[in-house]
């Protein structure tokens, strides 16, 4: 019900309505392709390379933003009806996942148009990477959805952080153009690894070491669990501050 309501309200009174689900990532892609084309001179299939980076980042941006504000946005319901508050966080992040899959349709259209057909195994591994990113987003939302109740400025700070993060992950450039020490630092960001591995699987048909994906899965699962435990222990006290 929350997912359905949020999805409808997001595009209510909009002229194009639901079409923005497809248009937003496509228009962002066109703008960035025009601006950053010179970065991709030596990158094979740069158009799909760029588009995949954009939609993976947009998923993270939407998911963490929706998740962060989910408790505050549903305060009128939370304070009146007793139910599991975890479902509110889950609905916000699933809403972002729904938007992501619509954007993914555009990407696969570009992928096939460029004559690129990833193997079934690589597609399955890519979906696993998406699940890993979802767990990371969900875990982060469990923390931030409570912190923003006490510190409302966090929402504004997070917007600035996302703007900076856009340039700190390899969306329109390869990590290889950076100094080696900086590459190592940026590689610690799970989002950087997910973007690079996704491109290897879908665009370049490469194999990704199973150990790398396993480490990402274990790390994101543990982080999500810690976030959930924190949320369960603190939600009651934070609800009283709404």
DSSP string, 132-181: HHHHHHHHHHHHHHHHHHH-TTHHHHHHHHHHHHHHHSSSSS-GGGS-HH
Q: What integer best gives the mean pLDDT of the chain?
A: 86
How many whole angstroms separate alpha carbon 242 and alpha carbon 237?
Answer: 10
Give the tens place of pLDDT for each residue, 45-72.
888 898 899 899 999 999 999 999 988 8
Q: Which of 121, 108, 135 is nearest to 190 (CA)?
A: 135
Q: Which residue has tokens 């992501």?
A: 100
Q: What integer pLDDT is reported at residue 76 of this predicted model?
A: 73
Of 11-15, 45-49, 102-106, 149-153, the least confident: 11-15
pTM of the complete model: 0.87
201 pLDDT higher than 80: yes
Residue 142 has a pLDDT of 96
Give the model confidence (pLDDT) of 165-193 as tens digits: 998 999 888 888 889 889 999 999 999 99
Q: Break the chain into its structural domains and give their ranges.
A: 2-239
pLDDT over 90 (residue 75): no
Tell me how far apart the alpha carbons of residues 122 and 116 are, in angstroms, rounded to a whole number: 12
- CA neighbor of 127 nearest in space, from 119, 67, 106: 119
Within the chain, where are the H helices? 2-10, 20-36, 46-73, 75-78, 86-113, 120-150, 154-168, 180-187, 190-202, 210-239
Per the CB < 8 A criterion, the answer to whether 205 and 118 are in contact is: yes
**Helix 190-202 vs helix 180-187: angle between axes, to the nearest 10 degrees?**
100
With 80 as the cut, is the pLDDT of residue 41 above it?
Answer: no
């Amino acid at each position: 019900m929350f997912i359905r309501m949020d999805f409808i309200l997001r595009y209510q009174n909009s002229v194009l309505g639901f079409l923005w689900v497809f248009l937003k990532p496509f228009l962002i892609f066109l703008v960035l392709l025009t601006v950053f084309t010179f970065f991709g001179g030596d990158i094979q299939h740069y158009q799909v390379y760029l588009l995949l980076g954009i939609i993976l980042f947009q998923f993270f941006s939407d998911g963490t933003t929706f998740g962060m504000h989910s408790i505050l946005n549903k305060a009128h319901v939370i304070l009146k009806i007793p139910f599991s508050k975890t479902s509110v966080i889950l609905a916000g992040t699933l809403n972002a996942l729904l938007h992501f899959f619509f954007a993914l349709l555009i990407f696969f259209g570009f992928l096939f148009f460029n004559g690129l057909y990833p193997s079934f195994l690589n597609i399955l591994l890519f979906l696993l990477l998406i699940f890993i990113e979802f767990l990371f987003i969900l875990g982060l939302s469990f923390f931030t959805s409570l912190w923003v109740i006490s510190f409302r400025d966090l929402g504004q700070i997070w917007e600035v952080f996302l703007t900076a993060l856009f340039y700190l992950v390899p969306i329109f450039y390869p990590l290889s153009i950076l100094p080696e020490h900086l590459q190592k630092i940026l590689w610690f960001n799970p989002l950087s690894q997910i973007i690079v591995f996704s491109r290897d699987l879908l665009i370049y048909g490469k194999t990704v070491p199973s150990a790398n994906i396993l480490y990402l899965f274990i790390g994101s699962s543990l982080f999500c669990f810690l976030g959930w435990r924190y949320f369960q222990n603190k939600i009651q006290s934070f609800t009283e501050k709404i």
